[in-house]
A and B are shown apart, each in its own frame.
Chain A
Amino acid sequence: MNQRSFASAFRKNRLGLVGLAGVAIFLLVGLIAPIFVPYPKGYGTEIMVSPSLTHIFGTDGLGLDILSEIIWGARTSIYVSSIAVLLAFAIGVPAGLVSGYFRGVPGSIIDTLIDVFLTLPVLPLIIVIAAVVGSSITNVAVVIGLFSWPSLARVTRNATLRVTEMQFIEAARCLGIKQRVILFKHILIVIAGPILVNLTLIMATSVLSEAGLSFLGLGDPSTWSWGTIIKKAWDAGAIIDTPNPYWWWFTPSISIILYVVCFNLLGNAINDALNPKSRD
C-alpha cells in the first residue's frame, strides 16, 4: 500500500485522530510538563482538599497536589511503556520472523514457545519476578517488556508466513540475496503495518501492567506513577471510609484509562487504514 492512500484513509477515521491527538498530548505532558510543575514531595499544608481552583484535582493525604502527581505519573507511564515496547520488539520480531520464515524444526519450536507463553498467566509471573528483583521503575519496565513479546511474535509470525509465499521473496532467493537481508529488509518492510499495530497495543497494556504492579505495592515507592497514587489512596482507605476523598483515586484511574484508550484507538485506526477490506 502506498503512503498517500494510507494517510488519507487514516485521516478519514475520526476516532483514530482522537487517539492520535490523545497520544500526542500524553507524550507532550510527560516529556515537557515536569519542567513547569515541581516534583511533588514532602508535605503540603492543605490535606485532602476537594478539587478547587488552586488544586484542580484536589490534594492527597499528605497535602500534595494530585494534578502534579498525575503529570509526573505520565512521564513514568511513557518511560515504562517505551522500555517494554523496545524489549518486546527486540525479542518478538526476530522470533516471529525466524519461526515464520524457516518452517520445520526451528520454526515449530519457537511457535510452541509462543503458544506456551500466551497460555501462561503472565501478570502473576511478572509479580513474582518483580517481588524477587526488587522494585525500581526500570526493573518493573524490563520485566514487563520481557513478557510482552509473545503476542507480537505471533502477529509477526502470521504475517511472515503470508509474505514468504509471495513471488518477490522467491525472486530475492533466486537472486542469491542473503537470508538475513531477505528477513530483515524485504519481509520486515512489508509486515511493518501489523507490527506497528501490535506495538501500540503493547504501549497500552504495559501501562496497565505497571499500574497493576504499583497498585499491589511492587512499584517504585520513590517515583510517582498513576498506580502508586491509587495505591496510596487505597491504603489510606479513601474508597469506603469517611471522609471520602473520591478525587484521590478517580483522576489517576481516568488517566490510565484515557492513556490506554488513546493507544488502542490509534492502533485500531492504523489497522483499519492498512486493511482496506475492513473499511467497508
Chain B
Amino acid sequence: MAEYIFRRLMKSLLTVFISIMLTFLIIRLMPADPVSLMVDPKLSPEVQEQMRKNFGLDKPIYTQFGIYLLNLLKGDLGYSFKTREPVITVLMQRLPWTILLMFTTLIMSLAIGLPVGITAAKRRNKLFDRVVNVLITLAISIFIPFISFAFLYLFGYRLGLLPTGGAYTPPPTQGFAYVLDVARHSVLPTITLFLGNSATVILYSRNSMIDVLKEDYIRTAFAKGWDDRYVTRKHALKNALIPTVTVTGLMIGSMMGGAIMTETIYAWPGVGRLIYDSVNAMDYPVLQGAFLMLSITVVAMNFITDLVVAKIDPRIRLSGGRA
C-alpha cells in the first residue's frame, strides 16, 4: 500500500510540475512580446524595467524558469493587471467558493449517481435501465450554458423562485441566515454541474456492476441461498465501486471546464468567474495563476480519490503490488 501511495504522490507532483511548466511556457513561447504579457503596460517605464529584472527576462530561458519556480515556492504569482493586488491574494479569495461548488457537486453525483447506476445494472434492459441510458447520452452531450440558461429562465425569470446570480445577497448577513442565503444561491449552480457530471458516475457504476454481476463468486453467493440485497451489498458493490471511484477522480479535471461556465453564468465568485473576468480584462498573470490553482486543486482531489481507492481495493490495501 505504501508503494502505491508513494507512486500516486509522485504522479501528482509530476502533474503539478507539468502544469507549472505549461504556464511558464505559454507566455514565453508566444510570438507576441512576452514582456507586455507579464508586465503591466500601464506602469511607468522605470517600474517596468524593475519588474523585467525581477522576472529575469534578460537572462536565458532556463534561468528564467528557475526564478519562476523560486517565486512560486514563495507564493509569488505576480501582480494582477487589473487590481494591482498580488495574484495569490486574488486567488485565495476565490478558491473556497469553487471548492465548495465542486465538493457539493461531487458528493451529490456519488450519492445519487451510484444508486441509480447500480439499480440500472440490476434491471438491465428493463424500462428503468433504458430511460437511464437515454438520459446519460443526453447528459454527456449537454452544453452547460444551455442548462444554466434554461434554469435561469424557468426558476429565475418565469417563477422568480431562486436568485439569478451571486453567492449571497449583498451585504452578507451573519450566522445561520448567511448559510441559508448561500445555500439558496448555490442550488442552481450545483444542480447544473450535477446534471453535467453525474452521467459519468452513473455510466461507470452501471457498467462495472454489470461486469461484476457476471462473476463466478456472485453466482456462488446466490447458490448459497443468500438473498439478492445481501449479495449486492456485501459481494458486488465494493468491487463495482473501485472503477467508479477511479473515474470520479479523473472526472474532476473536466468538471473544472464546466465550473468555469457555470460560475460565469451564475456570477458565482469562484476561480471560474475570475477566469472569465480576467479574459475580458486581458489580465494574464491572474489567468496563469488561476490555471495553476485549478490544476493543483484537481491534482489534490485526485490524490484523495486515489487514497479512497487504496482503502477499498484489497488488492492494494493488503499488498505492495500495483493495481
Using CB atoms and an 8 Å cutoff, list the residues of chain A in contact with chain B.
Answer: 112, 115-116, 118-125, 127-129, 131-134, 204, 208-209, 211-212, 215-218, 230, 234, 239-240, 244, 246, 249, 253-254, 256-257, 260-261, 264-265, 268
Contacts and interface: CB of A to CB of B under 8 A. Distances in A.
A216 B26 contact: no
B260 A216 contact: yes
Contacts of B11: 112, 115-116
B288 interface: yes
A120 B19 contact: yes
B44 interface: no
A128 B265 contact: no
Nearest to B19: A120
Nearest to A115: B11
A218 B22 CA distance: 19
Given A116-B15, A122-B253, A127 B142 contact: no
B157 A128 contact: no
A264 B250 CA distance: 20
A230 B146 CA distance: 9
Contacts of A127: 260, 275, 279, 287, 291
A217 B280 contact: yes
Nearest to B18: A116
Interface in B260-294: 260-261, 264-265, 275-276, 278-280, 282, 284, 287-288, 290-291, 294
B287 A234 contact: no
A128 B23 CA distance: 9
A131 B295 CA distance: 18
Given A119-B15, A120-B19, A127-B275, A132 B149 contact: no
Given A121-B298, A132-B284, A253-B146, A216 B279 contact: yes
Given A116-B11, A123-B260, A215-B145, 15 more contacts: A118-B250, A119-B302, A121-B253, A123-B257, A124-B256, A132-B26, A132-B27, A132-B37, A211-B143, A216-B264, A234-B265, A239-B152, A253-B145, A257-B143, A260-B141
Interface in B157-204: 157, 164
A66 B146 CA distance: 17
A127 B23 CA distance: 12
Contact of B279 (A116, A211, A218): A218
B312 interface: no
B254 interface: yes
Contacts of B295: 120-121, 124
Contacts of A125: 19, 22, 291
B72 interface: no
Contacts of B319: none
Contacts of B257: 121-124, 209, 212
Contacts of B30: 132-133
B28 to A, nearest CB: 10
Contact of A131 (B140, B144, B287): B287
A229 B257 CA distance: 20
Given A125-B22, A133-B30, A239-B153, A119 B279 contact: no
B149 A253 contact: yes
B27 A240 contact: no
Contacts of B19: 120, 125
B291 A212 contact: no
A260 B144 CA distance: 13
Contacts of A209: 257
Nearest to A201: B140
B100 interface: no
B300 to A, nearest CB: 11
Contacts of A218: 279
B101 to A, nearest CB: 14
Interface in B118-162: 137-138, 140-146, 149, 152-153, 156-157
B32 to A, nearest CB: 8
6 contacts: A119-B15, A119-B253, A122-B254, A131-B278, A216-B261, A257-B146
A191 B14 CA distance: 30
A124 B152 contact: no
Contact of B14 (A112, A132, A230, A265): A112
A195 to B, nearest CB: 20
Listed residue (A127, A257, A268) with the most chain B CB atoms within 10 angstroms of its CB: A127
Contacts of A239: 149, 152-153, 156-157
A118 B253 contact: yes
B153 A246 contact: yes
Nearest to A204: B141
Contacts of B278: 131
Given A119-B253, A132-B30, A239-B153, A261 B141 contact: yes
Contacts of A133: 30
B39 to A, nearest CB: 15
A80 to B, nearest CB: 14
A119 B299 contact: yes
Contacts of B141: 204, 257, 260-261, 264
A178 B282 CA distance: 51
Nearest to A255: B143
B37 A264 contact: no
Given A128-B26, A216-B261, A268 B157 contact: no
A204 B22 CA distance: 26
A129 B27 CA distance: 8
Which are the 3 A-B pairs with shortest beta-carbon distances? A123-B257, A253-B146, A121-B256
Contacts of A216: 260-261, 264, 275-276, 279
